[in-house]
Chains A and B, each alone.
Chain A
Amino acid sequence: MSLYFQGQPRRQRPERIDDLLGNELMARIARLDVVSRKVFAGKLQGERRSKRRGQSVEFADFRPYVHGDDLRFIDWNIFGRLDRLFLKIFLEEEDLSLMVAIDSSASMDWGDPSKLAFAQRLAMALGYVGLVNHNRVTMASFGGGSGLRKLSNLRGRRRTSEMGRWLLDLEAGGGSTFEESMKVLAMGRQGRGVMVVISDFLLKEGYEKGLRYAAGRGYDLWCIQTLAPQELDPMAHGLAGDWRLTDLEDRDEAEVTASPGLVEQYRANLGAWCAGLRDFAVRRSIMHLVVDTSMDVEVLMLEYLRRRGLLR
């Protein structure tokens, strides 16, 4: 077992798209599809039927013109007969919106494998599933050195490499701006769909407000909590003795003497923290998973996420 805390070299971050998503994995997950637990009416152009009316080929109804309506949708035939302005209303075609929000704060760039690297690979895989199923895929990263970044409205397999490059460009750094980022993302969300937040959720300011923002508006929210093996069992990775631990985000220091008793207490507290997040999530119909970053993304996708209903 590698002794992470004793200064053994870490594995490299992914540098190529192949590192994020290998061909084999690509082939295996291509047949998956993203599922939203929210009900959609009918399957329309764009794969899914929407209950909302809007711009589509299927006529739904007329309504009187009010000032400001788009003149293009006025039914001039009725105007000729009745001399009154009516608008044609069509059933709007809706596609599924998949938003993957990656926490790229400094705390994510830690562990072996790095939590950020894992998040990148998972986001790539999920995004690819979304793209091949013609969903509208939006990638977002928050908390990184450059604040909130988005890559919006990708659709189709052709955008895979663009998404990959964007993911590879992610740089970890800075503190977490979880609450603010969730608020912005929730406000700017278009349509309905699934939102996956990948983070370690070790947030000193708390995750509650941010998740409340994200969980509104009928979005199907998934929280995937990534934790490095070194976090889950520090003693097995060489954390013993006297340490001065520095917080990667706020440079806060904690002096600990890593005795078995203390580490046991730490693990209990970590378990309680995760349980608290899970409890919070369950009450708001948010799906919550804790994932060890040494987990194989393919297994996670094919086994766990299918079983839990995010994919099918």
Chain B
Amino acid sequence: MTAPSLAIAWLTPAMGIAVASVLVPLLVALYFLKLRRRPAAVPSTLLWKRSVEDVRANTPFQRLRPSVLLFLQLALLAFVAFALAQPRMDLGLSAGGRTVFLVDVSASMGATDLSKGDDPKSRLDVARDGIRARIESIHSGGLFAGAPGECMVIAFAGSAKVIQPFTRSKGDLLRAVDRLEQTDGASVLAEGLALARAFATVVDPESQGATPAESAVIELWSDGRIADLGEESIRPGETLVYRMTGRADAANLGIEGIAAERSITDPGLMQVFVTLRNDGPSEAETDVELWIDGSRRAVTPQAVRVPAADAGDAPVPAPAGSDAPPAGHRPGIARALFPPFVQPRAGVIEVRLTRSDALAVDDRAVLAVAAPRRLRVAMVGPMDFAVSNVLRALPVERLESLTAAEFAALNADADRFDVVVATAGALPEALGPGRYLTFGAPRGIAELNPYGTKEGLAVRAQRAAHPLLRAVNLDDLYVSKATAMAPGSDVESVVDGPDVPLVAVARRGTVTAVVVAFDPLDSNWPFQRSFVTFLANAVEWLGSLDQPAAQAEHRPGDAITARIPGAVREVRVAGPSIDERITVRDGAVTFGPVQRAGVYRLTWSDEGAERRLEFAVNAAEGEGWIAAAERVQVGTAVVDSSGSGGSLSDLWPYALAAALVLLVLEWWAYHRRHWVRAAPGAGPVRPVGAAVPGARGAPIIRP
């Protein structure tokens, strides 16, 4: 079933049927019975009988009249029976059905566009209320209801989580709804849908209390801005109900990105760049504030104007479902930068918009920056002159040249060097924690799967956006001989040859390695400018990986791994959604996945000195577009919004009101029968024996 049609659910159908089957025949039987009348004796029934006949004869539609009464009474009874069956306008959910509440808890659900009055209510709060009402309605059959249906609750953002497996317990369900937590992650449906299917599929009909044919109704409580809708599909027999949560015209202005850069000439100077994004239909203006370590440092000299979003030519909002914002919707983008300022220390940079809007989480963005630092680089093994010359030219603090044996001896002290540049053969099999730039495939990283050599290779594709390849053009690169690798899933290929990767990034726990699959001397690379740029990029990128300022920006849903130097056993992590102590294992800690945006702070004491490390997490990309979709396109099926749960209304009060109106009508019709007067001019019917018309009436002698 693709688009569920409106249907009526009966909470207590048996009651309605029972009442109808008893009362309707009773009513019809009453029509066959005679009215209970008071007895009275009269001198003669002659005139009475004649009068009754006369009234009948003079009444139009006399034959229809009893049937009108009967009709009214039957209709009245029908309404009463209808009301007793407790009908609701619903979406095919029966009392005995199974329902999966699939709740979007992504950042956009934190928008407060649905709040009324002063009480700020986020979309998730509204969804909670709606789900509670749905649970109440499923469990509120009252006296005549059978067993309520089973429900489960799944929350999804970047990942999905079962909050409550299938249960009939109303209390468990309501508590599960209370446990739904807002995150600042992206909306990805796939995992939630897979979870819902896994639970909804009936494997064991006896223990699961449902027949295999009876699949659950999936209620999607979301604003419809879900990144992967287009990749999903509704399977045959599945029912997806979309409960639109949010306003379709919600506008939002937020921070798309933040970057900080130290000056090359004076590392103490820092410059901050901000990208603003407007998803509203009209141009917006805002001041942007710069906060450093919790105190306001600067404001943009004039308000930043962010152009309106381009909704495209599509008359309706384009259905969400593609990876990027759909072609129909292009947010307005504006950039702002703050003048360079002195920041010689590490710190947390925060940018805030002064203009408040429905979604608060993207009105601020944080960035943790490290103190300026020169790198310590080791060259291991016999190094090409081309490489060693370039390394010597780099502005590093220290460059040491080590043999393989020397490095193996030092390997335990991984923190001595920030970057290790080595030929593959010079590295030990057991690779210690650290960051490596290798030429050839090192034995210590099994995921590379080297299987021989290839000759005569040119570059087929390169990931131009990767920091390694910034300002690097490899169009003219020719490699005469390279190690052939079939890398596993943990390895990211950055430069592709015809069928093998030429440059790859391998990560394994605390080890990060940039692997160049060939010796530069086996190529024409050393003669190209891109060689120098690449080496500089690689050293800089690898060297700054554990430094917050340059770390890949963290997003909600990420698990954050940090290296802790020294022999620290335990660190404390504190942030918007977490505050706990975690044990250091193998010189590193991992925490998360973090769910909220903000600054996460690791603190520990190292030989009496308080040390700390800060990580910035910003709201997921794409969540700034908060205008709720009125329909979602799942695969090829379009599911219209079924409204919020609040509109699920009982029909029985209306049925009862109609019954009351019918009762009044029936009463009126009943008495109307006897108000009939003879038509004007048509005198009373002359009795037998009074054959002469025009006779003078007999005056009655009265007191």
A residues neighboring B (CB under 8 Å): 5, 107-108, 110-111, 115, 200, 202, 204, 206-208, 225, 227-228, 231-232, 239, 241-249, 252-257, 259-266, 268-280, 282, 288-292, 294-296, 299-300, 304
Contacts and interface: CB of A to CB of B under 8 A. Distances in A.
Given A254-B49, A269-B687, 10 more contacts: A107-B43, A202-B47, A244-B39, A249-B43, A256-B52, A265-B684, A269-B685, A272-B685, A273-B689, A279-B692
14 contacts: A5-B40, A108-B43, A247-B44, A248-B41, A249-B44, A265-B55, A268-B683, A271-B697, A273-B689, A275-B697, A276-B687, A276-B689, A288-B698, A289-B701
A27 to B, nearest CB: 22
Contact of B698 (A202, A248, A274): A274
B702 A294 contact: yes
A260 B688 contact: no
A254 B38 contact: no
Interface in B670-703: 671, 673-678, 683-692, 695-703
A300 B701 contact: yes
Interface string B572-611: 0000000000000000000000000000000000000000
- What 6 pairs across the A-B complex have the smallest Cβ distances? A276-B690, A259-B674, A268-B684, A107-B43, A279-B695, A274-B698
Given A260-B675, A264-B677, A266-B48, A292 B695 contact: no
Interface stretch (B29-37, B139-147, B316-324): B29-37
B529 interface: no
B687 to A, nearest CB: 5
B53 to A, nearest CB: 9
Interface string B197-238: 000000000000000000000000000000000000000000
B45 A247 contact: yes
B55 to A, nearest CB: 5
Residue of B44, B678, B697, B703 ringed by the most chain A CB atoms within 10 A: B44
B453 interface: no
A292 B703 contact: yes
Contact of B696 (A264, A265, A278, A289): A278
B45 A245 contact: yes
A156 B228 CA distance: 127
Contacts of B49: 254
B50 interface: yes
B486 to A, nearest CB: 99
Contact of B703 (A243, A257, A272, A294): A294
A251 B688 CA distance: 21
Contacts of A299: 703
Nearest to A258: B674
Residue of A202, A243, A252, A273 ringed by the most chain B CB atoms within 10 A: A273
Given A208-B689, A242-B37, A280-B689, A261 B676 contact: yes
Contacts of B692: 276, 279
B37 to A, nearest CB: 4
B675 to A, nearest CB: 6
A94 B55 CA distance: 55
Residue of B38, B39, B671, B698 ringed by the most chain A CB atoms within 10 A: B698
A9 B683 CA distance: 36
A171 B533 CA distance: 140
A165 B34 CA distance: 47
B684 A247 contact: no
B51 interface: yes
B683 A244 contact: no
Residue of B675, B688, B702 ringed by the most chain A CB atoms within 10 A: B702
A295 B700 CA distance: 10
B698 A291 contact: no
Given A254-B52, A262-B674, A275 B698 contact: yes
Contact of A248 (B42, B55, B683): B42
B46 interface: yes
B54 interface: yes
A110 B43 contact: yes
Contacts of B695: 275-276, 278-279, 282
A37 to B, nearest CB: 20
A270 B47 contact: yes
Contacts of A270: 47
A241 B38 contact: yes
B336 to A, nearest CB: 87
Nearest to A231: B43
Contacts of B684: 265, 268-269, 271-272
A108 to B, nearest CB: 7
A208 B703 CA distance: 29
Residue of B34, B50, B671, B676 ringed by the most chain A CB atoms within 10 A: B50
B674 A261 contact: yes
B700 to A, nearest CB: 5
Contact of B44 (A202, A262, A288, A291): A202
Given A261-B55, A278-B695, A292-B702, A242 B38 contact: yes
B48 A246 contact: no
A244 B34 CA distance: 11
B35 A255 contact: yes
A151 B112 CA distance: 109
A262 B51 contact: yes
Interface string B362-383: 0000000000000000000000
Contacts of B45: 245-247, 252-254
Contacts of A265: 51, 54-55, 58, 678, 684
A206 B41 contact: no
B40 A246 contact: yes
A239 B674 CA distance: 14
Contact of A254 (B48, B675, B685, B699): B48
A115 B687 CA distance: 22
B189 to A, nearest CB: 69
Contact of B42 (A110, A261, A282): A110
B603 to A, nearest CB: 92
A275 B690 contact: yes
B41 to A, nearest CB: 5
A256 B687 contact: no
Contacts of A261: 55, 674-677
Contacts of A278: 695-698
Given A245-B45, A272-B687, A304 B701 contact: yes
A204 B46 contact: yes
Given A268-B683, A274-B698, A304-B701, A262 B55 contact: yes
Given A276-B686, A276-B695, A266 B47 contact: yes
A279 B677 CA distance: 27
A268 B697 CA distance: 10
Contact of A266 (B36, B51, B674): B51
Given A269-B687, A276-B686, A276-B687, A290 B698 contact: yes
Interface in B644-679: 671, 673-678
A160 to B, nearest CB: 26
A243 B58 CA distance: 21
Contact of A107 (B44, B673, B675, B700): B44
Nearest to A262: B55
A279 B35 contact: no
Residue of A242, A265, A282 ringed by the most chain B CB atoms within 10 A: A265
A304 B44 CA distance: 27
A228 B688 CA distance: 22
A207 B51 CA distance: 20
Contacts of A294: 702-703
B668 to A, nearest CB: 13
A294 B702 CA distance: 7
A278 B700 CA distance: 11
B696 A275 contact: yes
Contacts of A254: 45, 48-49, 52
Contacts of B678: 265, 268
A122 B47 CA distance: 26
A289 B39 CA distance: 31
